[in-house]
A and B are shown apart, each in its own frame.
With several copies, the nearest count.
Chain A
Amino acid sequence: MIDKTISNAQAAVADVFTGATLMFGGFGLSGIPENCIKALLEKDITGLTCISNNAGVDDFGIGLMLKKRMVRKMISSYVGENAEFERQLLSGELEVDLIPQGTLAERIRAGGAGIPAFFTPAGVGTEVAVGKEVREFDGKLYLLERWLQADFAFVKAWKGDTAGNLVYKGTARNFNPMMAAAGKITIAEVEELVPVGELDPNQIHTPGIYVQRIFQGVNYEKRIEQRTVRKV
């Protein structure tokens, strides 16, 4: 199989351009492509549209891209763990499109799966429905929602092979598999890059067909937002 390995994060993001639409895997700070975000921060690009369930925190994740004013628009389900985000939003520097989480996940899945539109019940009767087609099926109302696709999708996996096959760990999986399929160029960073043949074909979460570039990331911080422990 073709070797999709690229040397590092800088090389992987070299052709990301001003005004591009980007997807970032992760839920909160769990499962985010830390290495790619760092490499993007070194680039002189702006006007980005970022599709990500959340927007990071002030000093980590996509929050750092916001701070550097690289982002024109966020498409997310839940944002604002982040003061700079709020400031830019109120000042009009930043545009935000808030989407119900399941609709966001399914719109991305549809983007990868070649389904331009589908009906979902989430948001019927709410301000999310404004301007959207509403249709009744079997006595229940649904909204028509469109697919989401991206110029580049950045995903983070636990293990990957050189053909781009990916395996995620725990709830760090979240949005990563759908985004891998919805990017024109999908860049995967993995904690461990292995030769083809080492991953069990039955246990691949993202088949390599969706991945155009892969590299082994370094120095994962894996910051925890809500460290919650029980007493023993």
Chain B
Amino acid sequence: MLTKEQIAQRIAKEVKKGQYINLGIGIPTLVANYIPADLDVVLQSENGLLGIGPFPTEAEIDPDLINAGKQTITMVKGSAIFSSSESFAMIRGGHVHLTILGAMEVSENGDIANWKVPGKMVKGMGGAMDLVASAKNIIVAMQHCSKDGQSKLLKQCTLPITGIRCVKKIVTDLAVLDVLPEGGFKLLERAPDVSIEEIKSKTEGKLVIEGSVPEMVF
């Protein structure tokens, strides 16, 4: 089973040179730590920044410079600041190459649920619905099962969904899976020491296995 850091590390391998990337809160944020500098990627923050840098030192803190998680940040060289409407024009227009975000459920046709749990206080979808409706490539980082052991890879989402037919790839603590255009989770890689049987038993949606399924290599 992968740790959160390892999930992030594995997702980082999906990143290509020169991409513009939006990272969601949680595990996706950790991905930044594993992207090699020579890939020259640019991180977008939907509150209006291209070129997120590392967290600031105490001396560098600027209340006028935060990320979408409201954390203080810095800018890298070559950054650009813009308004929220320009930011989502960028997202909606398909200019952001890759969106990495967490999920509570993903269905076998690529629907994602990650914003609302009936009966709990609803905080809002923020930019998630815009991101999943528009990004060219969407990778989900999540645990394979919920805390009470239920599969999060489902035939159909049970929670209110954030977007339809949008997730392209999922990296969990157990596996890497593609969402097939015709529906179904195609098993690409296993986490070290995790058996295909275990993944089968923990995937409620249709699991497609073709040929051998290698262990992830880090």
Contact = CB atoms under 8 A, between A and B. Distances in A.
User: Do A and B touch each other in the complex, judged by CB within 8 A?
Assistant: yes
B65 A171 contact: yes
Contacts of B122: 80, 98
A226 B125 contact: no
A223 B80 CA distance: 23
A28 B44 CA distance: 17
B54 A230 contact: yes
A101 B130 contact: yes
B83 A175 contact: yes
Contacts of A228: 55-56, 71-73
B63 A224 contact: yes
Nearest to B129: A100
Contacts of A77: 124-127
Contact of B80 (A100, A114, A121, A207): A207
Given A100-B127, A109-B85, A209 B72 contact: no
Contact of A27 (B66, B130, B134, B164): B66
A225 interface: yes
Nearest to A98: B124
Interface in A186-218: 196-197, 201-202, 204-205, 207-210
Nearest to A101: B127
Interface stretch (A12-20, A38-46, A125-133): A125-133
A203 to B, nearest CB: 9
A101 B85 CA distance: 9
Contacts of A114: 89, 91-94, 134
Interface string A94-130: 0000101111111011011111000011111111100
Contacts of A109: 85, 89
Nearest to B89: A113
Contacts of B67: 171
A86 interface: yes
Contact of A1 (B51, B87, B129, B133): B51
Nearest to B116: A127
A180 B69 CA distance: 24
B126 A30 contact: no
Given A171-B81, A209-B50, A209-B96, A105 B123 contact: no
A209 B50 CA distance: 8
B105 to A, nearest CB: 13
B126 A169 contact: no
Interface residues of A, number: 79
Interface string A169-186: 111111111100100000
A181 B89 contact: yes
Chain B binding surface SS class: loop
Q: Which of B64, B76, B88, B124 has the most CB of A within 10 A?
A: B124
A229 B56 contact: yes
Interface residues of B, number: 72
A223 B126 contact: no
A219 to B, nearest CB: 14
Contact of A170 (B62, B69, B94, B111): B62
Contacts of A207: 50, 80, 82, 86, 90
Contacts of A205: 83
Contacts of A81: 123
B92 A122 contact: yes
A101 B71 contact: no
A165 interface: yes
A229 B72 contact: yes
B6 interface: no
Given A80-B124, A207-B86, 15 more contacts: A1-B76, A1-B78, A2-B18, A3-B40, A27-B70, A78-B123, A86-B121, A101-B127, A102-B127, A113-B92, A120-B130, A204-B80, A207-B82, A226-B66, A227-B61
27 contacts: A78-B124, A80-B121, A80-B123, A98-B124, A100-B128, A101-B130, A102-B87, A103-B130, A106-B89, A109-B89, A113-B88, A114-B93, A125-B163, A126-B161, A161-B78, A165-B80, A178-B84, A181-B89, A181-B93, A197-B77, A201-B51, A204-B82, A209-B20, A209-B90, A222-B63, A225-B70, A229-B72
